[in-house]
Amino acid sequence: MKIAIMTDLEGVAGVITYQGWANGDSRYFGQSRTLLAMEVNAAVDGFFSAGATEIVVIDGHGGNGYGGVDFLSLDKRVKFQRGWPGGTGGPYPLGLDRNFNAIAIVGQHAKAGSEYAHIAHTQAFKLLDLSINGVSIGEFGQVTLCAGELDIPVIFGSGDMAFCQEAAELVPGIETVAVKEGLAFGRGDECTAEEYGLRNNAAIHLHPEVARQLIREGAKKSLLRYKKEKFGVVKLEPPYELVYTFRADGTNPQKKMVKTHPDSVIGVMNRIYEK
């Protein structure tokens, strides 16, 4: 059984702020990359113990730039992907294909506007909301819908508690592990991009070793359950309308950008990258 582990960074236990820990030039960025690799390794242990035969770790942090995984700290049994294959008009489906039997997400944060979330955002702090066919989604949702078009189940996710709630609402049956809990109340829709990037930094974290043990157990449980229950594929019906809503910022009012595609959710997500 071949599994993809898609990663992000802001949802890792011990990653404290975006400014100090999650940007390529952050003071503690190297430590964050190692913390992420250790959480990935915990998931890898769980999946292999449940019968996985091949695991590809896909680094999903920082676009095609600096990345988020400390490659040298990864379990030697995995393969590692950094960067998105070309030829689709944009980055989606992020290297996924029908050869994968299941997908897991490690280190994921909640979407923009999530209450009690830690470092919540969708792609960038300037984005107020992203929706497809009226369904508000974040970065997790984008991966999930790409996977759904390819008939690949999303069976496991780890990150902050608000992300876990978001994942459970979008993917019935998904196994989740919360490694920290955000403390900021309210959506923050009134914030500028700069203000929003600072408002969700308060959180209570599990110790990284405790988080890893829970991730190991959760990953194993998710694959064993999937073999019996077959959950995790999420699809929306075509045609597709993608709406980006940007925050009001200074003298710039709130604005929307709309893209459409007749039959592909992957295609509509890539429309934003068209010249």
Alpha carbon distances (Å) from 216 to 3, 143, 209, 248, 275: 15, 22, 11, 41, 43
**Residue indicated by tokens 């039959």:** 263
**Residue indicated by tokens 């992420």:** 36
As a dihedral over the C-alpha atoms of residue 96, residue 102, residue 108, residue 113, rounded to 10 degrees, the angle is: 90
Mean pLDDT by 10 residues, the chain (275 residues): 97 97 93 98 98 97 83 97 78 95 98 98 97 98 98 98 98 98 96 96 98 98 96 98 94 94 97 86
pLDDT of residue 86: 65
Q: Is residue 143 part of a domain?
A: yes
Q: Is residue 50 part of a domain?
A: yes
pLDDT of residue 87: 58
Number of domains in the chain: 1
pLDDT of residue 146: 97
Q: What is the CATH number of the domain that holds 48?
A: 3.40.50.10780
Q: Is residue 155 part of a domain?
A: yes
Token digits for 48? 């292999």
Q: Is residue 245 part of a domain?
A: no
Partnered with residue 7 across adjacent β-strands are: 59, 106
pLDDT of residue 84: 83
Q: Is residue 173 part of a domain?
A: yes
Residue 3, SS3? strand
Can you give the residue range of the structural domain that contains 156?
2-121+138-233
Distance CA 225, CA 214 (A): 16
